[in-house]
Amino acid sequence: MAGYYDRDRTTAAGTMRWPEPHLGATSEFLVAGWPYSLSFDNGTGVPVTKTVTFEYVTQFITVTAVSGDATISLQGGADFIIPSGTTQKFEVKATTIAITSADGTGFRLVAGLTNVRKKHYPATLPTQATVA
C-alpha cells in the first residue's frame, strides 16, 4: 500500500499551491491597500501627460489638482477634469491612469494597491451602457 501511495504523490507536491488573489477575492478589497504616491509639478512650458501603470490592481485612486486643473483618464476611458485646488477620490479597480497637467500646474496622486496582479485584470472591459 505504501508504494501505491508514494507513486501517486511523486508529482503532486510540485503542482499544489495556494490560489493567487484575483478580482473576485473580496478580502483583497476589504483591507487597507498598499500605498502608492506620486507628486508631479509641470514646469516644462507645455502640457504634459503622465501615464502611471500599476503592477497591481488598485482599490482606490485619489488625485489632487495643484494650482491648475488636471485631466485624468482611467484605463483609457472618458476624461475627467479635476478643478484646481480640489481632490477627487475614485474607488475603482484599475491598472492604468493618465493625468494631463498644463504648464505651471501639478498634481498629487495617492493609490491603494491590492495583492491582485495586473495579469488578472481583463484585457477588455464589459460594454458600457448607452443613454438613448
- Whether residue 98 is contained in a domain is answered as yes
Q: Across the chain, what does the average pLDDT equal?
A: 87
**In a domain? residue 20:** no
Contact (Cβ atoms closer than 8 angstroms) between residue 90 and residue 42: no
| Strongest mean pLDDT among 22-26, 116-120, 123-127 | 116-120
Structural domain boundaries enclosing 45: 33-119
Rounded to an integer, what distance in angstroms lies between the CA atom of residue 98 and that of residue 50?
6
Q: Is residue 125 pLDDT above 70, yes or no?
A: no
Q: Look at the block and give the residue holding cell 499551491.
A: 17
Q: How many separate domains does the chain show?
A: 1
Q: What CATH number is associated with residue 68?
A: 2.60.120.10
* Per-residue pLDDT reduced to its tens digit, 37-47: 999 999 998 99
Q: Is 56 part of any domain?
A: yes
Is 99 inside a domain boundary? yes
102 assigned to some structural domain: yes
Q: Is residue 53 part of a domain?
A: yes
Tell me if the pTM is above 0.85. no
Tell me the percentage of the chain whose pLDDT exceeds 90: 64
